[in-house]
């Protein structure tokens, strides 16, 4: 068991995150693709029926990587509801991500830098005010989450920077086997307000302690 204490170093935290990423990679490889596809449809269905999403006028979604809960069906549902939809897009000039508006995935996206679909260059980007506005609901992928809303990403910090300053509801979206007892986090790691899996949508619990312990 790895224990992280107040005096833990950055190296300790990095090592703990790497252990958890490796464990989840093994677990992901064990889950059949057909099972992940079924779970994605069920999870997207829970979100489609979730009242905060139904009430939201603007939604930031994501294009799933292998092993992530896919939201293709939810994208279509949200589009039919008339919502403004946005996907992350990589900016080569500063190595960061922005959100750009898309009406449909097939004709307005392409494979991006990391093999995930992102909006074409001509799709309009959200302004900084729009990105941070409280009426933008975020659906956020992750390698792992815990019930306190801590999130583990792939280690590049792209989503943490994209979420910085955002005041809208943040929903961590993942398969239920990616929900772990405790996720190790640093001060810059952005927390979630809700978690959505194929088992349903639940509110995150208040943080009981800022010092995580990782098995």
- Report which of 186, 61, 50, 72 is spatially closest to residue 136, judged by C-alpha positions: 61
Segment 204-211 long-range contacts (CB within 8 Å, at least 24 positions apart):
204/147, 204/148, 204/149, 204/172, 205/147, 205/148, 205/149, 206/148, 207/148, 207/149, 208/148, 211/4, 211/5, 211/6
DSSP 108: H
Q: Are strands 151-152 and 96-101 parallel, antiparallel or unpaired?
A: unpaired
- Report which of 105, 139, 136, 138 is spatially closest to residue 123, judged by C-alpha positions: 105
pLDDT over threshold 80, residue 213: no
Round to whole Å and give the CA distance between 209 and 185.
Answer: 12
Q: For the chain, how big is the Rg over CA atoms in Å?
A: 17
Question: Is residue 21 a contact partner of residue 178, using CB atoms and an 8 Å limit?
Answer: no
- Percent of the chain exceeding pLDDT 90 equals 79
Q: Which residue in this structure is represented by tokens 């929900």? A: 179
pLDDT over threshold 90, residue 5: no
- Report which of 213, 212, 209, 171 is spatially closest to residue 190, judged by C-alpha positions: 171
Q: Three-state DSSP class for 76?
A: helix
Fold of 7-206: Rossmann fold (3.40.50)
pLDDT tens digits for 86-144?
A: 999 999 888 889 999 999 888 899 998 888 899 999 999 999 999 999 999 999 999 99
Q: How far is CA 55 from CA 47, 75, 186, in A?
A: 12, 15, 32
* pLDDT of res. 208: 62
Round to whole Å and give the CA distance between 45 and 105.
Answer: 19
> What is the residue extent of each domain of the chain?
7-206
Question: Is residue 159 a contact partner of residue 166, using CB atoms and an 8 Å limit?
Answer: no
pLDDT tens digits for 55-91?
A: 999 999 999 999 999 999 999 999 999 999 999 999 9
- Report which of 164, 112, 174 is spatially closest to residue 143, judged by C-alpha positions: 174
Tokens of 143: 């390698």
pLDDT band at 8 (very low <50, low <70, confident <90, very high): low
Tokens of 122: 């001509």
């Amino acid at each position: 068991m790895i224990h992280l204490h107040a005096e833990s170093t950055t190296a300790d935290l990095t090592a703990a995150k790497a252990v958890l990423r490796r464990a989840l990679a093994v677990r992901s490889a064990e889950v059949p693709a057909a099972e992940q596809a079924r779970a994605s449809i069920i999870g997207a269905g829970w979100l489609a029926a979730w009242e905060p999403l139904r009430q939201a006028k603007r939604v930031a979604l994501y294009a799933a990587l292998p092993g992530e809960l896919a939201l293709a069906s939810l994208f279509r549902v949200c589009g039919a509801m008339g919502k403004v939809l946005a996907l992350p897009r990589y900016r080569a000039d500063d190595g960061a991500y922005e959100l750009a508006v898309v009406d449909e995935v097939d004709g307005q996206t392409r494979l991006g830098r990391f093999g995930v679909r992102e909006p074409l260059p001509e799709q309009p980007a959200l302004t900084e005010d729009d990105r941070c506005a409280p009426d933008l609901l975020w659906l956020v992928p992750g390698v792992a989450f815990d019930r306190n809303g801590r999130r583990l990403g792939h280690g590049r910090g792209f989503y943490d920077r994209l979420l910085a300053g955002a005041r809208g509801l943040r929903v961590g979206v993942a398969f239920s086997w990616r929900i772990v007892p405790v996720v190790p986090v640093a001060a810059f790691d952005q927390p979630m307000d809700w978690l959505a899996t194929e088992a349903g949508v639940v509110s995150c619990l208040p943080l009981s302690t800022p010092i995580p312990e990782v098995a």
